[in-house]
Structure formats: C-alpha cells, structure tokens
Structure 1
Amino acid sequence: MGYSARIASNPYIVGSFACIGGGLFGLDISSMSGVLNNDSYKSTFGFPNPGQQGAIVAAMPAGSLIGALAVTKLADKYGRKPTVILSGMIWVIGSILQCAAVNRGMLVVGRIISGISVGLASAVVPIYQSEITAPAIRGRMVSLQQWAITWGILIQYFIQFGSSYINGTASFRLPWGLQMIPAIILSAGMTFFPESPRYLFDCGREKEALQVLADLHGGGDTNNDLVVLEYEEIKQQVYFERTEGAKSYLDLLKPGNPRRVMLGCCLQMWSQLTGMNVMMYYIVYVFQGAGLTGRRSNLIADSVQYVLNVAFTVPAIIYIDKWGRRPMLLIGTLGMGFWLFLVGGIQGRFGHWADVDGSAVWVIENNDAATKAVIVCSYFFVCTFAITMGPVSWTYPAELYSLKVRGKAVSLATAANWTFNTALAFAVPPGLDTIAWKTYFIFGTFNFAAFIHIFFMYPETVGRSLEEVEEIFQQGHVFTAWKIGKDVGKKTLQDVVEKSKDLPTEKRTDSMEEKHSV
C-alpha cells in the first residue's frame, strides 16, 4: 500500500480532514463578530441598526437551514463524500459575493449561499465520520467537528483583528476573501478519500464496502475480527431495512423512530439555546455592556475567549469516549446556566442605561471589579460549553439512527440547530437593546430546562456500534434513561454471526461464518 493510500485509509486522517467542513461554520461566525465595530464596515453597509444587523447575521443560519434539509436527499442519493465536496464549492461562491458586496442586499445573498454550504457540511460530515470510524473512537472523531468550528472561529477572528489595522474596505474584504482557501482544500482533498462503507453497502456495492472497512479498521485485512463484526452488523441492518421497502420520510414516523428524531432535534435546539452563539456572534456587544471601552481592548478580550474555546475542546475530544455523553451534557448545562445567571446578576446590579456612540446601551461604568467579573464569567461559560455540550451536540445525533433513516434524521436535527440559530441571530441584538441583562437570565433558564430533559430522556450511547444503538431504544425507558446500563445492546462477534443465520437465504452474501472461524 502506497503512502497516499495509507493516508486515505487512516480513519483519524479521513475523519479529521472532513472536519474542515465544520471549520467553515466557525469562519463565518467570527467573520461577523470581528467587524461589528469596524467603521468601514458600518459606513459601507449603511450603519445597520440592531434589527438590520441581526438580519445580516441571521442570513447565514437561514441559508444553513436550507442546506441541512437538502442533505436528506443528497446524502442518500449521491453519497456522503460528494455532498461534502459540493459544500466546499458552494462556500467559494458565497465568499466571493461577500467579498465583493457593495450593499446590504448583496452581503445578505452571499451569506445565504455560504450558509447553504455550512448547512450541507454540518449535517453530512458527522454522518460521514460516524460511518467510517470504529465505536471505540467514534465520539472522539465526530467531536473533532466542534474543534474544527472553534479553530475556524479563532483563525478568522485573528485575521479580522490583523485586518482591523488596515484603513478602508480591505479591513473586512480581505478576511472574507481568504476564507475561500479552506473550502478549496476541502473539495479537492475529499476526492482522495473513501466513501462511507455503510452507504456503499446500501447501494449494493458490498465488496467495496468490505474493503473500505478493512482498509480503515483492519490494516487492509478483511479477516480482522472488528472488520467482520462491523460488516455483519451492517449487512443485517441493511437486509432488514430492505424487507421494509424503499426509503421515505414516512420511515421517520415508524415505531421507535419519532422518539429518536425528537432527541436529535432537541439536543441541537438546546445547543443553540444555551446562549453560546450569543457569546460568539455578539461578544463585542457583551463586553461593551460590561464596560470594556476602546475598540482594541474589546477585540483583545474577545480573542482570549476564542483561544479558550479551542483549548478546552481538546479534553473533550480526548475523553468523550471515556466520560460518556450523558455526564458531559448534564454537567455542562448546569454549569452554563450558573455562569449566565452570574453575568445577568452582575449586569443588573451594577449597570445602567447610558448613551454609547449615539445609542442607549445597558452598561457598567467606573466599576473595574464588576467589569472583570462579567468578562471572567463569560470566559468560564465558554470553557464549560467547549468541554461539554459543544462536542456532544454533534456526536450524539450522529449515533442515534439506523442506516435507513440516518441521512434524513441527522439533517433534520441539524436543521433544528439552524432554525434556532437563525431565530437567535435575529432576536439577540434587539433583546440586548431592550431588556439588556435580563437576556442572560432567559438563556440561563434554557440551560436548566435542558438539564431536566437530558436527565430523564437521553440514554447513554458511548462505546456502542451504530447497530447496537438500536438495542437501546428497544428497551423502553422513555422517561428513565438513567436506568440504561452500558452493557445494554453490546454484541460479540459470536452474537452477530449467529444472528446472520436468520437472514433469508436468497439475501445472504458469501457466508462470513464460513470465511471466519469464531
């Protein structure tokens, strides 16, 4: 096997490279946060008021909603890999329009097109990663999606920061143009990597699927025990689903599926309602309200937050398959709610309405201790999200569904993310402009509500194959998820081979039992 072939068959490299799609999301987030107080940006686009700025920011998640829903067709019809490649191509088109924008309308159109790209990538990349990785490292690989987002935010923000020293429109056009580079790398590079083995099997390309599994998980050996186990599980699942007829959206309503669809959609909803994107999109406004004066000081304080976001995602990537999904979600929602209530309480106690640059702003003035407390609590909030909800919100939905509905269900879950992302992008600037510090109490309450929902209804999925997850939801426990032990649904190679004997004779491929002694 040549050097390039070894790279293309390494699950860590394959999964990590696909994460560039997540990085596009991060690039877009900080492409706006870094220009909100840029005078050239404001004059070029007509000094947008809070409502207009909210609409500009919301254009991207609105486009992402469209892209995420499109995955329901594209991922199943054309494959996971071509959909990732397409997302990179669309991003380039959107970036060109943003870079050349001369008015708000053109900027909004460019952001919508870029959003379609992000929606495609954010839905299909976790599917692709979950289907090419072994259960023992799946959480780690899918959580790389969140790390890529944090890197995208950080890199774009520092490009924005450096460009802020440039006079004129180049201060925002340069960063918007440079963000095309990773998308070009993504689309070109994905042509060298394999398609998802589960998608290949579903298309009848079973020998090719077996070889991809062997290359990814067995060093090219089709007799490897893990390869045999995964192949048999996929075969059983695909054959069973074929007996139920062609795929359709009605499959999402069949027994056992509605609950899982709602779990995935709600988790993505909660990930937005935690308030994290408020801290990402509008951190300039947050620190302005805290009393941090001076454009450069604000930008520097913002950059610390983005560095922390990258750094504290690393422990989650390393230990997500050891800690489990439930503990991370439960601890995270409690912690984030606590920090947001502290921010709101400090703002409410020490702040007041004041005129800042011609606008009424709730701000803390002449109180360094309160200003620093708000900034530190904001940092702790971001660290808590980065090490808990951030990576799990992408990993968990990708693990929930059977092959037959995975493309549609994950895209719906991601669409829920973008639906609430869009709504919040619209709502937060007017919210901070009218109810000010009470906005933080609203998001803090959402976090506590998420804790209750997760505690009662979200079972643990760590360490199980995608097919073993099916067994979890056959146990019932709709409102008693904490009772589901880590051994539920676990299968050995012997179990899988025995079950394969029950497949209809005419639908069985060459018996894996004959080829592999157990």
Structure 2
Amino acid sequence: MIIISVGTLLPAEIWTTATNYESVMEKSADAVHLEDVQALGANLAEISHDGKPVWEQRQTYGPAGIRGLATSKYVLAAAAFSTLGGMLFGYDQGVMAITLTMDQFLTQFPEISSTAVGASFNKGLMTAMIELGAFFGAMNCGWIADKFSRKWSLFIASIIFIVGSVLQTAAVNFEMLIIARLIGGFGVGMCACLAPMYISEIAPPEIRGTLLVIQELSIVTGIVIAFYITYATRHIQSHWSWRGPFLIQMFPALCLCVGVVFLPYSPRWLWGQDRDEESLKTLSRLRGVPETDSRVQQEWYEIRSEVAYRREIEQEKYPHLQDGTVSSTIKLQANNWADTWRGRNWRRTQVGVGLMFFQQFVGINALIYYSPTLFKTMGLDYEMQLTMSGVLNICQVIACLWALWGMDRFGRRQLLLYGGVCMFIAHFIIAILVGLYHDSWPTHSTEGWVATAMLLFFMLSFGATWGPIPWAMPAEVFPSSIRAKGCAQATMSNWGNNFIIGLITPPMIEGIGFGTYVFTSGFSQICLLGSLFCSKGFDLLSQ
C-alpha cells in the first residue's frame, strides 16, 4: 500500500492557500493512503460538469472584499447582527474609561478611590473581572455551541450578560459590583467566541475575511458609543451618572436575544446534526441562489464530505466512546479538546492562542480602559484627557473600517508585520518622551503633544492590523470538527491575557511610569515573530 506523507500534500505553512480537500485526506496525524485520495477524487468528480474534481473548478459567488458584500446582503446582515455580542464587550471598555474618573462612582465604591489603601489593585481587579468571567465563558463556549447550535448559543450568552448588567446597574457595594462584572463577562466571552465562528461558517470564502473584521468593528463601535454616553452623563449629580450607562448596555443584548430567532443556522452545524436537507436549504438561502445552482451543490458537497470524513476519523480513533453514555460523552469531549494540540492541529492552536496573547500584551486594552490616566502622564489637563480619549477611540474605528478593505487585499501576514513595526515605533518614542519629561510637561508641551500623536498613531496601526486579524484567524485555521473548541481556546487566551493586563496596568503606571511603555514596546517587537506564521487565502476546508 502506498503511503503519502501529509507534509507532501500541504505546504509547510498549513494556513497558506491549499486545495479544498487536502485536510479531508488527513486520515491520521501523519499519513494518508493513496487509495483514499483516489476514491475521494472519484466521488467528487461525480458532481462536476467535465469530469474534473470540484476543487479544480471552484466557482465564486462574486467579487472578493468589500465589493463582494453587495452580492451577499443576507450574509452581511446575519454577520453584522451576530456581532452585537462584540459590541457588549466594547461598550464595557468604553464605559469604564470615564466611569473610573467620576466622583459619584468613587463615592459609591471608595475602595478604588485614590486615597484608599490598595486602590490601584482594586481598580485593576474591578476592571478585569469582566475578562475573568469572559475567560470562563469562552472555556464553555465550545461544547455549548456544538450542542445547542451557534445561533442559540448566542441567545444563551445574551441572557447571561443581561443578568450581569442588571446586577451591575443595581450594585450597592464593591463586592456586588465584582460579582456582577464576573457574570456579565461570562456572557461576553461566549459572544466573542461565537460570532467569528458563526460568521466563518455562513460566509462565502471570497468575503470571509472582510466579514470577520465586523467583529472588531463592532467592538470599537461599542467603545465609542459608551465613551460618549459616559462623557455626556458625567455631569449628572447623582448615582445615575454611572448607573445610567450601565443600564443602557442591556439594550444591545436584548436586541440580540430577539434577533437570534431570525438568524439562519450554520449549514455546517446542521449537517453535523444529520439535518441534511435543512443544511442545503439554509446554504441556498445564504447564497441567494436556488438549491440546484452548481455553486451551492459544490459547496454543499464539500461540507458533506468534510463532516462525514471527520466523523469517520473520530469513530476510528475512539470506537469505545461511541455508545452515547454520559461517561463516554465526557471522555470524547476531553479527547476532542486534546485533539486541538495533537498532530498538525497544535500549530493551528498556537496561531490562535499566540495572536490573542500578543494582541493584549501590546497594551491595547490598557490604553482603552485607562486612556485618561495615560494622557495624564503626558501632561494633558482633565478635559483634554477625556477629549483625546474620545479621539483615540474614533481613530480605532477609522482604522478598522480600513481593515474591511485591506485584509483580503494585502493578506494577514503582511498587515501583522507592518502593524508590529508601527506599534513598536510608537511605544518606543512614547517611552523616551515620558521618561525624559514626565516631571516637567508644563515647559515641554510640544514633546507632550508628540507623545499624544504617537499614541494616536499606535491606535491607527493596531486598529488596522492586530485589532481585527487575531479575531478573524482562529475561525479560519481550524477544521469544522474542532473549530468550536479551537476558537474557544483562542478566545480564552484573549480574555485570560486581557484579565492580566487589566489587573497590572494601574500598579504599573503608578510604580514604573514610562516603564509601562517600555514593557509594551518590547512585546510589540516580539509579536513580529508571530507574524511569520500567518498569511492570506484560507479555506475552511483546506485545513
């Protein structure tokens, strides 16, 4: 029997453009049989018009990038609506930036007032609790998404977030606020994991990257909306100056709860549940063409082949865990989690987890949560601190809008490389200026504005590169059989590292000042190495 090494079927970089069925051939972590490849090609040829395998004649649904959105309006609407969960997280980030400076809020929770013992730690803990909750939400997202579907899992996540928001709005002491943010974070973590996963499974390959940018765009839109809501309510002379913004964050979650009813199922999830005809009908509706259209038939056949083959592999690998008992189901789930780190999958997991790690340690959420404090280190007065914080958030929206056009045009790897270089330059210059002039800004206002400009430059660079791409990549690199768990681990990395950053930033600013920027500039430089593992041209069935 002739054996073909998987390394000869896939390029060294597993995430470069590949034929649609090279992953389907991956019967084991190390090799596949030539007979399997030939049989697969013969079956695929059955639905082709000229006897050639379908992977040699993929037909597109329309142009790539932004132009392709016009031909996929239904998919665009479903994708945009599913990312309301991202807006929940962005809203929380934006609302905290000014809330942490409100006298009414500090009076209600004196534990984070500057005069309290351990105020820096308490401020970081309170801010970071939503990330800790999100970590556990992402941890449980995989099995929930596989069991209840992607769309109904979004409903569950929204309900959990609403409960947390109600408790946060009604908080009367520091402990209640901490618990409320932990609960709300659980829902945020699920939403952040589910939306990219859902989008990747309903989107045509030509516009998948563009649609996945919507997740980051939704986050930054939430940041801007929340920032200016709190900017407007900060002068209210009662506890509603901060309770009001906390209350408003429930409305996107309520909209998501209601709207989920109208979202289509993922065709891949439906086929995995043996709902074959419904899978075809849903795919046809998503693509806006009849079920008999050759492109729909081709894509449906690809989904069927990939899911069926993955199921066969699972049955061969774990035949003793197929009896459906609770014990076997738990063991099978544990093995599926472990599969994300086995064979060729460990590199996919490294990409997802690693990109999220560096996304956080370049300092983005420290900048968003504590931007007024950071602008204070550059010599700006209170009103200008808030004004520039708003400008900073708008810069991220502008950059993210550019990414809608640029991601598929320039490719992930190239954008990450450029982004890493630009972020390093910005942090490095800021570190020098803050280190030299932190105690003499009144006589060095020009240097202060240069540092401010570098912070805006950092945000533009991040928003166009390291902001959207780490959210898009995990949903693209994992095969459907482990996509839920792979995306969950990547999102867990985001929230776990986000929690650490939120916790340590206030003590760092207070203790080492300009060293905070040295710290983030170092990680901006290191993240360039991670960029070498990413490129454009993913196909969900090429992994």
TM-score under structure 1 length normalisation: 0.84
What corresponds to 1:11 in structure 2?
Answer: 75
Aligned equivalents of 1:322, 1:140: Cα separation in 2: 10
Q: Is the 8 A contact 2:213 2:472 kept in 1?
A: yes
What corresponds to 2:294 in structure 1?
Answer: 225
Aligned equivalents of 2:295, 2:237: Cα separation in 1: 58
Structure 1 195/258 Cα, relative in aligned 2: closer, same or farther at 3 Å?
A: same
What does the per-residue CA deviation read over 1:394-442, in whole Å, with 9 as the maximum and x for residues that have no partner?
Answer: 1111101111110001000100011100011111110111111011111
Structure 1 residue 366 displacement after superposition: 3.5
Equivalent of 1:165 in 226, 235, 243: 235
Q: Summarize the alignment of residues 459-470 of structure 1 with structure 2, pairs less than 5 Å apart.
A: 459-462=534-537, 464-468=538-542, 470=543
What corresponds to 1:347 in structure 2?
Answer: 434
Q: Percent identity?
A: 29
Q: Is the 8 A contact 1:8 1:192 kept in 2?
A: no
- Please state whether the residue corresponding to 2:237 is helix, strand or coil: coil
Q: Is the 8 A contact 2:97 2:368 kept in 1?
A: yes
Structure 1 residue 9 displacement after superposition: 7.7
Q: Summarize the alignment of residues 101-116 of structure 1 with structure 2, pairs less than 5 Å apart.
A: 101-116=171-186
What corresponds to 1:421 in structure 2?
Answer: 498
Structure 1 residue 450 displacement after superposition: 0.9
Q: Is the 8 A contact 2:422 2:461 kept in 1?
A: yes
Q: Is the 8 A contact 1:211 1:220 kept in 2?
A: no
Query: 2:532 matched to 1:447?
Result: no
Aligned equivalents of 1:61, 1:196: Cα separation in 2: 27
Query: 2:344 matched to 1:262?
Result: no
Structure 1 193/9 Cα, relative in aligned 2: closer, same or farther at 3 Å?
A: farther
Q: Summarize the alignment of residues 17-32 of structure 1 with structure 2, pairs less than 5 Å apart.
A: 17-32=81-96
Q: Is the 8 A contact 1:351 1:365 kept in 2?
A: no
Residue type matched to 2:363 in 1?
A: G
Structure 1 residue 220 displacement after superposition: 3.7
Aligned equivalents of 2:530, 2:243: Cα separation in 1: 43
Query: 2:379 matched to 1:291?
Result: yes
Aligned equivalents of 2:205, 2:521: Cα separation in 1: 34
Query: 2:408 matched to 1:321?
Result: yes
- Please state whether the residue corresponding to 2:141 is helix, strand or coil: helix
Residue type matched to 1:242 in 2?
A: R
Aligned equivalents of 2:390, 2:78: Cα separation in 1: 30
What corresponds to 1:337 in structure 2?
Answer: 424
What corresponds to 1:99 in structure 2?
Answer: 169
Aligned equivalents of 1:309, 1:96: Cα separation in 2: 29
What does the per-residue CA deviation read over 1:449-502, in whole Å, with 9 as the maximum and x for residues that have no partner?
Answer: 1102322xx14242x42002x2xxxxxxxxxxxxxxxxxxxxxxxxxxxxxxxx
Aligned equivalents of 1:189, 1:114: Cα separation in 2: 20
Unpaired segments ≥5 residues, structure 1 = 1-6, 353-362, 471-518
Aligned equivalents of 2:365, 2:338: Cα separation in 1: 33
Structure 1 residue 8 displacement after superposition: 11
Superposed CA RMSD in Å reads 1.6
Q: Is the 8 A contact 2:111 2:174 kept in 1?
A: no
Aligned equivalents of 1:277, 1:251: Cα separation in 2: 31
Q: Is the 8 A contact 2:97 2:372 kept in 1?
A: yes
Write out the 4+ residue segments of structure 1 that deviate beyond 4 Å after TM superposition: none
Aligned equivalents of 1:9, 1:336: Cα separation in 2: 35
Query: 2:276 matched to 1:206?
Result: yes
Equivalent of 1:278 in 366, 381, 386: 366
Structure 1 residue 251 displacement after superposition: 2.2
Q: Summarize the alignment of residues 19-418 of structure 1 with structure 2, pairs less than 5 Å apart.
A: 19-48=83-112, 49-217=119-287, 219-245=288-314, 248-294=336-382, 296-352=383-439, 364-418=441-495
Q: Is the 8 A contact 1:8 1:193 kept in 2?
A: no
Q: Is the 8 A contact 2:429 2:454 kept in 1?
A: yes
